[in-house]
Amino acid sequence: MSASVAAQNEASLPTARDVPLGPLAGMDVPLWKAATGAVLHLSAECRAFRVPPQRAGVSLRVPDRGSMADVPEPGGCQSCPNPFPDYYTEARHLLSRMEELRKLDDRLVAGHDLDAYCGVLAFSMHGLGGRDPKDAHRLLRKPLAALAAARDQVAARHAGAYRGGEATEELLMIGTASLLHTDFHRRRPGKFRLPWQEAWEEICEEALDAQELENPSSDQIRYDYRHGFDQWCEKWLTALMDLSPAEQHARPSPVAARWARAHDVLERAIKRDLQDQPWAVRLADRLHHTGRGLVAGIAASMAEPVVVAYDGREVIDLPWLAQEILWVQYPGGVRQAGRSQHRLTALPRLFTLLDSLSRRSLDVIADTDWHDSPAVYQEAIDNVPKAAFSPDAYCWWNTNAAGRLPHLLVMARTEAASARRQAQRTQAPWR
Helix boundaries (H) for 274-404: 280-301, 322-329, 349-352, 374-382
Shortest CA distance to 140 belongs to which of 21, 13, 10?
Answer: 21
| Secondary structure string (H, E, C) spanning 81-129 | CCCCCHHHHHHHHHHHHHHHHHHHHHHHHHCCCHHHHHHHHCCCCCCHH
- Cα 65 to chain centroid distance, Å, stands at 40
- 332 vs 377: CA distance, rounded Å: 5
Cβ neighbourhood burial of 34 (10 Å; 0-12, 13-18, 19+): middle
- Cα 225 to chain centroid distance, Å, stands at 35
- 349 vs 363: CA distance, rounded Å: 11
Helix (H, G, I), strand (E, B) or coil at 324: helix
- 292 vs 84: CA distance, rounded Å: 58
Shortest CA distance to 236 belongs to which of 163, 294, 303?
Answer: 294
Residues of the chain whose pLDDT is less than 70?
1-11, 75, 185-191, 211-227, 245-250, 276, 355-359, 368-370, 401, 428-431
Q: Are strands 54-61 and 333-337 parallel, antiparallel or unpaired?
A: unpaired
| Its pTM surpasses 0.75 | yes
What's the pLDDT score for residue 67? Answer: 94
- 390 vs 40: CA distance, rounded Å: 55
- 351 vs 178: CA distance, rounded Å: 10
What's the pLDDT score for residue 2? Answer: 47
- 128 vs 414: CA distance, rounded Å: 47
